[in-house]
Amino acid sequence: MGKTLTYKILEKHLTQGSLSAGEPIGIRIDQTLTQDATGTTAFLLFESMGLGRVKTQKSVSYIDHNMSQFGPENHNDHLYLQTVAAKSGAYHSRAGNGICHQVHLERFGEPGKTLLGSDSHTPTGGGIGMLAIGAGGMDVAVAMGGGAFYLTAPKVIGVELVGNLKPWVGSKDIILKLLSILSTKGNVGCVVEYFGDGVKTLSVPQRATVTNMGAELGVTTSVFPSDETTRLFLDAQGRGDSYLALSADPDAEYDRIIKIDLSELEPMAACPSSPDNIKTVSELVGKKVNQVVVGSCTNSSYTDLMMVARTLKGRKLHPMVEFAIAPGSRQVLNMLAENGALADIIASGARILESGCGCCIGQGYSPADGTISVRTFNRNFAGRTGTKGDMAYLVSPETAVAIALKGEFVDPREIGVDYPLVEMPKHFLIDDSMIEQPPSEEDAQNIEVLRGPTIVVPESPQDLCDTINGKVLLKCGDKITTDHIMPAGAFLKYRSNVPEYAKVVFNCFNEEDEPTFADRALNLKAKGVAGIVVAGDSYGQGSSREHAALCPMYLGVRVVIAKTIERIHKANLINFAIVPIEFADPDDYDKIEAHDKLEIISLLDSVRSSDSIKVVNKTKECEIIGKLNLSKRDREVLVSGGLLKYTRNNA
């Protein structure tokens, strides 16, 4: 039987375990990336391990999320990240150089390499044939220190692409179509691998759009083959020596095959407030729109914005639409400025936002109350824009620019404009002056790491005890995202100060004139009572933000009981010694309510060696059986009191 591309790369990087789907494995990591929303914690944890210099082939620290500086917090973090990267032997991409995924694709990514990033959209690198995986900052810190990354050997979903995209249908519509088939849940432990004749019709930026938003499927990662198109892209970036041809064997067998005919796709949209709430744009025609933005790590490439510029050239935006672009990198912005495309965009009435993540995470450009915002982003979770009760739709740049001209949802094929074909450049503008090279180990000894007063070393988890007497602080439903747990937007500037950031844990569920989740949790913690969270399906989907485990841990949360828990968040819970329990019988979810008192006996013994655990609801006088879906290493990490202690003990 032939091998999939996924398993070919895994095989070359395997350090532990057996490559059989469902089995726990460890793999060697070639490259890591961090960004400033997660990087401060990752580097603080890396320093706490006492491992000295990074041991990977390349580690890059990016500043792209928290660019606005209202107060000292963000700039304090920027200076810390700049100096700690130099001290640790990592590259550093300065604020303004661009979004980590876009810049990494342009300047660092290599086919066949493994990439671990403290951002859930790290799979963007799959667009050039990398096995690129998002993870929590603690896992990335371990990888920076030369440690393996542990995961489950995946099932591989093969997506066969045939045909060609028609004019005004974007690569975004491919992943929106796949989301309509697979949804955002139920895909844990899978990798999506693209193959077929349709692959060669897609440019690297188009492929990267698809792998980027593949994160919303809940899969481990997504990957395209590395072919002649990849070679031309790397040549144009001056990195042709990084090219390696890679593909699945012709007789590779997949666990499931989905066939998508590109020629049959039409413009689509993810409707509020989930990336899998998919409709065709033709179903939405006529809905008034007041805000449009093209950007984010999903759709801010040179070709995306050149298409926008050529469509807008000589035209004016609808007067009731506020339209903006956020170029994905300084390279993209410079090239638009040099060839005059930026002037065409500005002349149409558009706003130019920073080359960063900004409005994607609610840091500015929030929509007005009761209005529709159309975005080329990857997530539209409720409130993510920074506006409560928002109505955010996710579309391709082709659909977005058409809507900006008309002021309402319109099928871009019906606007009477010839589709502007944009060719990939033979040579990109190369200027790496805002990427700082790591100094020599000798020179690094003289570097002072700048630690502003708003940067606080995270508290270590408490060791597990054999019996937990706890209280349910919150019972929530399905599809609870890390944005629900830890709001981004204006609060994200507190990410380097856990006691401060923890004040807004589950902020969206707080009732007026009632104690907040944080207040209730700290009150229990002071009394020696464990906090417990109960949830439905797909708990913890979305961002890799480990603060969604770190901050609850600080507040005294010791257990999460849910129907299912998403991969990255489950790993983060384990890393911070919060026990993830899943209902053996999903109907038992109805046997627990908020404020119930729960008792878990023989917790340590169960974590060490059992696949099940008994939870006694003392309030309702009933018993519930939970599942402990844990690998041997997961158990060792929990019993050690979290990954930091485990790593120190095994260094």
Give 651's pLDDT tier (boundaries 50, 70, 90): low
- pLDDT tens for 519-535 read 999 999 999 999 999 99
Rounding to the nearest 10 degrees, give the CA dihedral for residues 404, 406, 410, 414.
Answer: -110
- Pick 649 or 587 by higher pLDDT: 587
What confidence score (pLDDT) does residue 31 get? 98
What confidence score (pLDDT) does residue 1 get? 79
pLDDT at residue 584 greater than cutoff 70: yes
Rounding to the nearest 10 degrees, give the CA dihedral for residues 55, 58, 59, 62.
Answer: 170
Rounding to the nearest 10 degrees, give the CA dihedral for residues 635, 636, 639, 645.
Answer: -140
DSSP 8-state secondary structure symbol assigned to residue 539: B
Sign of the torsion formed by the C-alpha atoms of 445, 447, 448 and 454: negative
Q: What average pLDDT score do residues 476-489 get?
A: 92
pLDDT at residue 348 greater than cutoff 70: yes
Sign of the torsion formed by the C-alpha atoms of 249, 253, 255 and 258: positive
Question: Which amino acid, residue 182?
Answer: L
Question: Which amino acid, residue 81?
Answer: L
- Pick 650 or 575 by higher pLDDT: 575
What confidence score (pLDDT) does residue 490 get? 81
Of 358, 459, 462, nearest to 70 (Cα)? 358
Q: What average pLDDT score do residues 556-566 get?
A: 97
Give 600's pLDDT tier (boundaries 50, 70, 90): very high
**Helices (DSSP H) in 121-248: which residue ranges?**
137-144, 172-182, 204-213, 228-236
pLDDT at residue 639 greater than cutoff 80: yes
The secondary element (H helix, E strand) that includes residue 588 is none
Of 392, 357, 324, nearest to 543 (Cα)? 357
Q: Rounded to whole angstroms, how far apart are CA atoms 564 and 145?
A: 31
Of 640, 633, 482, 479, nearest to 552 (Cα)? 482
Q: Within 10 Å of residue 459's Cβ, how many Cβ atoms?
A: 13
Question: Which amino acid, residue 177?
Answer: K
- pLDDT tens for 148-172 read 999 999 999 999 999 999 999 999 9
pLDDT at residue 49 greater than cutoff 80: yes
- Pick 360 or 561 by higher pLDDT: 561
What confidence score (pLDDT) does residue 68 get? 84
On whether the pTM is more than 0.75, the answer is yes
Q: What average pLDDT score do residues 242-253 get?
A: 97
**Which tokens belong to 82?**
């700049």
What confidence score (pLDDT) does residue 51 get? 82
CA distances from 71 to 66, 75, 491 (A): 12, 8, 12
pLDDT at residue 383 greater than cutoff 80: yes
Q: How far apart are the first and last CA of the chain?
A: 39
Q: Rounded to whole angstroms, how far apart are CA atoms 538 and 615?
A: 21
Active site members:
64-65, 119, 379, 543, 545
Q: What are phi and psi of 591, to 5 degrees?
A: -90, 0
**Helices (DSSP H) in 189-340: which residue ranges?**
204-213, 228-236, 302-312, 330-339
Give 186's pLDDT tier (boundaries 50, 70, 90): confident
- pLDDT tens for 84-101 read 999 999 999 999 999 999
Give 315's pLDDT tier (boundaries 50, 70, 90): very high
Percent of the chain residues past pLDDT 90, beyond the cut: 91
What value, to the nearest 5°, has the Cα angle with vertex 321 and ends 273 and 372? 15
Whats the size of the chain, residue-wise? 651
Burial of residue 177, with CB atoms counted within 10 A of its CB: 0-12 exposed, 13-18 middle, 19 or more buried: buried
- Pick 457 or 6 by higher pLDDT: 6
Cross-strand partners of 268: 280
Q: Rounded to whole angstroms, how far apart are CA atoms 215 and 252?
A: 24
**Which tokens belong to 199?**
């692959």
DSSP 8-state secondary structure symbol assigned to residue 62: E
Q: What is the 3-state secondary structure (H, E, C) of 94-130?
A: CCCCECHHHHHHHHCCCCCCEEEECCCCHHHHHHHCC
pLDDT at residue 457 greater than cutoff 90: no
**Which tokens belong to 639?**
């019993």
Q: Rounded to whole angstroms, how far apart are CA atoms 8 and 523?
A: 51
Q: Rounded to whole angstroms, how far apart are CA atoms 89 and 144?
A: 10
Q: Rounded to whole angstroms, how far apart are CA atoms 186 and 482?
A: 17
- Kindly report whether the peptide bond that precedes residue 273 is cis, defined as omega within 30 degrees of 0: yes
Q: Which residues are within 8 A (CB) of 295 and not within 5 positions of it... i.e. 6 or more apart?
A: 324, 325, 326, 327, 328, 353, 358, 359, 360, 376, 377
**Which tokens belong to 408?**
């309402």
- pLDDT tens for 113-162 read 999 999 999 999 999 999 999 999 999 999 999 999 999 999 999 999 99
**Residue reference for tokens 């667009």:** 127
- Sketch out the chain's domains with CATH numbers: 5-264 (3.30.499.10), 277-414 (3.30.499.10), 468-650 (3.20.19.10)
Of 329, 323, 392, nearest to 362 (Cα)? 392
Q: What is the mean pLDDT of the chain?
A: 95
